[in-house]
Amino acid sequence: MLPQDPFILLSFVNTQLRDRFPSLEALCDDYGITSSELTAKLTAAGFRYDRSQNQFR
């Protein structure tokens, strides 16, 4: 289960992307969420996914 608070979610997702997953799609597949759902949650909090860095900023 992913954290619901957007700032905790940001930290969790970026840590997972750094340590475990080579892409956003791989993370989403493992956690059973679509990349568009996850991106929408973090975009609503003001963050954007940077594919070249494989993280949200």
- As for how many domains the chain has, the answer is 1
In a domain, 3, yes or no: no
Residue 39 in any domain: the answer is yes
Give me the domain span that covers residue 27.
Answer: 20-56
Q: Is residue 6 part of a domain?
A: no
Local structure of 53: helix, strand or coil: coil
In a domain, 34, yes or no: yes
Could you list the mean pLDDT of each consecutive 10-residue stretch along the chain, which spans 57 residues? 96 98 98 98 98 97
Residue 26 lies in a domain: yes
**Residue 45: CB partners within 8 Å, gap ≥ 6?**
6, 7, 9, 10
d(CA 54, CA 4): 21
- Model confidence, pTM: 0.94
